[in-house]
Amino acid sequence: MEEIKEKIGIFILNYNGLIWLKESIPNIIKYSPNNDIILIDNQSSDGSVNFIKKKFPQIKIKINNHNYGFSKGYNEVLLNETKYDYFIIMNNDVQVTPNWIQPLLKTIKQEGTNIVQPKIKNIKIEHTKENNQEKYIKTNKFDYAGGSGGFLDIMGIPFCRGRIINTIEEDIGQYDQTQRVFWASGCCFMINKNTFQDLNGFDNDFFMHHEEIDLCWRAQKNNQKIFCCPESVVFHFGGGTMQYNNPLKHYYNHRNSLLLLVKNMCFKRLLATLIPRILLDYIIVLFYLLKASFLLMKKGDFKLLQAPLFIFMAHMSFLLLLPKFLYKRKPIKMTFLYPKSILIEYFFRNKKKFSDLKKF
């Protein structure tokens, strides 16, 4: 194994993630020799910090004053960090594999890029009724959160190599080439320290979700490139830190996807995009209401009513933040967007896989 001379800090943000730290930390320590691992804790109350102190004293711990979320949680530490040449930003529910750092470093140095993500595959979480325990299975499917690198369509809707909408492909080596992408997944990526600090880190107003897409979009405005290096492989507990049906996930995803466009998209494209995107949200609300009505009549289940409520709340928050984000606008014409609507391609032209799309 080639010795790494560059100083790399592996930063893991945590909030009440003890269950995931127990699964991921031993694995990260084993396959990340001679690299500092730093846990950034957002005021956890589940014993996470004490667990790390007791079991893994070699891990450095930074404790934030509040639960700042993803964006500010990292910014509080990384914007003032001077020791490292590169940061690896990683969720607390990620497992790494042997020799995962070297390919990332090689790519970020040789490709003239400043941000690079690994291939991200899924760990399936199965709930067993017999003993009320969870079973974790490493699958050969791409992870929803990043697959083999992320892209945006002309409407600002994200998708990945290996995942379009809700179709997740099996990894059979079809996306094993190192390739330029539009965004790197916040689940796990390496970034040049100077790049992160020159961009002033993540946008604190996002709190969580879409902040990595915003960071990558701003990086491209500075003529910086983002790559995916599939030679490096990590696994992600899909829906571990925040489950997919969590209403807060709906809230931040719907709100931040609109804020992302207002902040970064050129004015002409924004005019053509924003209203259709808002209308699309209300089509989703209608879908949830119809589904919730069916479940309410059949099972008396009110849970699905949470999603439309939180989407309405997301739009209210979007309107409140709109003046602030209009002030932040620094758009440029982007040429690296997928030039069609991924929704039309997916639902009306049956293009379910990234390889079905024309090269762009």
19-47 pLDDT per residue, tens = 999 999 999 999 999 999 999 999 999 99
In a domain, 139, yes or no: yes
Q: What is the pLDDT of residue 289?
A: 75
- Please state whether 283 falls in left (phi above 0), alpha (psi between -120 and 50) or beta: alpha
**Residue 330: which pLDDT band, with cuts at 50, 70 and 90?**
confident
Do residue 188 and residue 332 come from a single domain? no
In a domain, 150, yes or no: yes
CATH number for the domain harbouring residue 163:
3.90.550.10
**Residue 358: which pLDDT band, with cuts at 50, 70 and 90?**
confident
Do residue 266 and residue 208 come from a single domain? no
Q: Which residues of 153-179 are buried (b: 16+ CB within 10 A; e: fewer)?
A: bbbbbbbbbbbbeeebbebeeebeebe
Q: For the chain, what percent of residues have pLDDT higher than 70?
A: 91
Using the predicted structure, report yes or no on whether residue 243 has a pLDDT greater than 90: no
Look at residues 195, 217, 237 and tell me which one is the last residue of a structural domain: 237
Our count of domains for the chain comes to 2
What does the mean pLDDT of the chain come to? 91
Which residues contact residue 212 at a Cβ distance below 8 angstroms, ignoring those fewer than 6 apart? 183, 184, 185, 186, 189, 202
Mean pLDDT across 79-92: 97
Do residue 213 and residue 287 come from a single domain? no
Look at residues 204, 237, 270 and tell me which one is the last residue of a structural domain: 237
Residues in the chain: 360
Do residue 190 and residue 59 come from a single domain? yes
The phi, psi pair for 219, rounded to 5°, reads: -60, -40
**Dihedral Cα 256, 260, 262, 266, nearest 10 deg:** -160
Domain encompassing residue 57:
8-237
Does this model's pTM top 0.75? My answer is yes
The phi, psi pair for 222, rounded to 5°, reads: -95, 20
Do residue 149 and residue 281 come from a single domain? no
Do residue 112 and residue 160 come from a single domain? yes
For 29, the token pair is: 């320590």
DSSP letters along 86-111, please?
EEEEE-TTEEE-TT-HHHHHHHHHHS
Quickly count: other Cβ atoms within 10 Å of residue 253's Cβ. Answer: 16
Tell me the per-residue pLDDT of 192-207, one tens digit each, with 9 for 90 and over: 999 999 999 999 999 9
Mean pLDDT across 134-149: 92
Do residue 61 and residue 192 come from a single domain? yes
